[in-house]
Amino acid sequence: MASITSVSLLSEAEFGCEHLASILAQDGNTANQFKSSFIKTHKALAPQRIATEDLAKQKGGLRPASLLRPKYTCLTCSEACVPAKRETHTGETGHQFYMESRGRALFCQSCRDLVYDHDLERLRSSSQNGTVQEIRRRRFSENSSDEQYVKINANKRPCAKQGVRGLYNLGQTCYLNVILQTLLHDPILNTYFLGSGHQSHDCNAPDCIGCAVAEAFADFNSSDKAEGFAALNLLLASWRASPTLAGYHQQDAHEYYQFLVDKLHASTEGHVEDHDQACSCFFHKTFYGKLRSSVTCDKCGNVTKTEDPMVDLSLDVQVQAKKRAMGGGVGPSATPTLNGCLESFTSPEKLMAGVYNCSGCGNTPQKATKQLRIKKLPAILCMQLKRFEHSLAVSEKVEGRVDFPLSINMLPYTTNPNSKVDKSKYIYDLSSAVVHKGKLDAGHYYVYCKQGDQWVLFNDDQVTAVAEADVLNADAYLLFYSLRTFGSGLQ
């Protein structure tokens, strides 16, 4: 895997893992209580001398099979768990540290791995309740060659996956690669596809997009593979599902995102096809929101409201420039902003007579005012900065950067912008930024994705760690934001 670990890390691992650090780095009782529990459990799991007569009773002098299987004792409550029950115990109690019974090694459930901490190891070695032989074997001095070897060869590592993997370009398939990388780096989708989400072994649908995406998640998270991989099955399934996608030619990443979301929704058992009806499937809740359009008659004040499903917001990046040309607020050199685009998207728009027939005026053409607002927000919000303009005369690409934030409050753009609600439920964090370089018919896509606290640039199978400033300076085409706090439905 392409490592994204910072080169500034010390050669000595300060703590066994980041979860252990959050406990041991604290002053006072928290760290001391953990150390006490560690020593107490270590002593309780110490090998017990078996009497000769008891040993003779064991068949063939062998230890029972139950003693050969490892168990994990919780350091918080001392409950012993077999490996299969360990995750359940952590989920129910929040306890995440265990001691393995055979070697008495520390296990972090959040890391799903054994962890080594040299301070805890010295603490264990200084215990006088172990056997003399074990104390002599484990005791290290600060300058011993053994401990120095461990310090020099140990590295801090973020828990879970250390690296990332690129996607091979299979022939102008960069549009697919950037969208798939965006999905692969979303925590919500990782929980679904790596958990009990789409069960490929139970799916009989031919060329199922859900199965192909599930396979990509499994490949991406395969710890025994370091190189990039090709999402061939997803490409073939996409071609078979949509004739317009088939073949090695340029495609729009935004259109492919819409296609992929629609097919993932269709692959879910129990989904509802009619968007006018409530659908409770995972993908509908994750990707789909609702837009409300309100048209107010300028003559009689009659208001007509309609609601439509949305899978993204398409924002005109030229609206602010046009307003400036007409003498609007900011100076002509100001860079357009995402918030400005959203304000333009949700601002009232005048409709001329002939466009709207008012039912309150006997279905006669009237001048009216139209306004779009977000009725319901999805968990993953995609925003397209419209860079491709098409007219009868010409099709062209709009160049230029649009300022976008790392976090954004979407409440002002909803149907209840001034409501007294918990505003934290409307805060979204940037998770991915897709960039298109080149001309309309001869361009290339690459994507910035957030991996833990680090930003990574994916240019097909090339993977590069980048600074936050690099992401914010990008000429983004698609922006993906993830809801920071999950509540009971956003209205």
Pick the closest to residue 236 from 263, 215, 261, 207 (CA basis). Answer: 207
Q: How far apart are CA 298 and CA 480, in angstroms?
A: 37
Residue showing tokens 């301070």: 119
Q: Which 3 state secondary structure label does DSSP give 172? A: coil
Tokens of 457: 């640039």
Q: Which 8-state DSSP code applies to residue 229?
A: B
118 is catalytic: no
Q: Which 8-state DSSP code applies to residue 308?
A: E
174 is catalytic: yes
The one catalytic residue in 174, 208, 279, 358 is 174
The one catalytic residue in 19, 95, 271, 444 is 444
Q: Which residues pair with 39 in a beta bridge?
A: none
Pick the closest to residue 479 from 182, 262, 151 (CA basis). Answer: 182
Contact 115, 108 (CB under 8 A): yes
Integer angstrom CA distances of residue 270 from 211, 212, 288, 289: 16, 19, 16, 19
DSSP 25-43: TS-SHHHHHHHHHHHHHHH
Number of Cβ atoms within 10 Å of the Cβ of 170:
16
Tokens of 360: 């309150």
On the 0-12 / 13-18 / 19+ scale of CB atoms within 10 A, 404 is: buried
Which residues carry out catalysis? 174, 444
